[in-house]
Amino acid sequence: MKIGWIGTGVMGASMAGHLQAAGHELALFNRTKAKADALLAGGAAWCDTPAAVAASSEIVFTIVGFPYDVESTYLGDNGVLAADGPCRIVVDMTTSQPSLAVKIGESAAAKNIGSLDAPVSGGDIGARNAALAIMVGGEQAVFDEVRPLFELMGKNIALMGGHGAGQHTKMCNQILVSGTMIGVCESLMYGSTVGLDQQAVIDVIGSGAASSWAINNLGPRIVQKDYDPGFYVEHFIKDMGIALEEAAALDLALPGLALVHQLYTAVKAQGHGRDGTQALILALKALNGG
């Protein structure tokens, strides 16, 4: 199949690579061409605009940064939906606004193009291992057609409802992750302060009731002071901001999320916006004079 892929960052490059390894022909666009070098070396074709990707692809996947990136990628003058050609399905895997997913779905339908919003969870590790959770919004028939491609990238794939439902589900995911991350960091800070070996703590509590993906995968990075991104702090701040906006529109108070959002904003202010989410520990250390 001829597949278009837009966005070859920390997660996107691995995800596109799984499709390429399965024998699909890729057409690529990314703002920084060098980040697509491995895929291009594997035979993918470079395109100069999102519209050019769509003009040569049956299905176009996108995973970019922020909602304004998604909107320009799809609805801009050189966007995916401005193209004429064989494109019949578009799939946005960015974590973005539910309302924007609805808008893209409506715009795509006006051109007889199917649309799915399909944000993912699992970070760089899940992307590399093709083990992502993929939460999808859109029509059943379109989902059924794309599912074999999703299965090359993820292990837990679910259609959650109509356009925007995938994004709402991802907000549930990010709300939970935010609380888990502060728990991981506070737990390891406490252990370190009382003189425990932090990795030994992870090995024990990571197999009991306190077990989580975050403690077992990001905990060791915290111990090693490895803040390389599996998922950027600045992107997580964006996600939490979307969730807070959606909650405010529903008159729903989420004080835990608001607190963690504030702490991550402090991490970014310290210059760590492009570090991984495990860098939350730096804000907590600063609060404790470390």
Active-site residue set: 170
Q: How many CB atoms lie within 10 A of CB 244?
A: 17
Alpha carbon distance 241, 22 (integer Å): 36
Q: Which residue has the tokens 């960015």?
A: 94
- Residue pair 282/236 in contact (Cβ under 8 Å)? The answer is no
Residue 117 has which token pair? 């919003």
Alpha carbon distance 5, 50 (integer Å): 9
Task: State the helix-helix crossing angle for 98-109 and 67-75, rounded to 10 degrees.
Answer: 10
Residue 162's SS3 state is: coil
Residue 267's SS3 state is: helix
Residue 245's SS3 state is: helix
Pairing of strands 154-161, 132-138: parallel
Alpha carbon distance 75, 85 (integer Å): 16
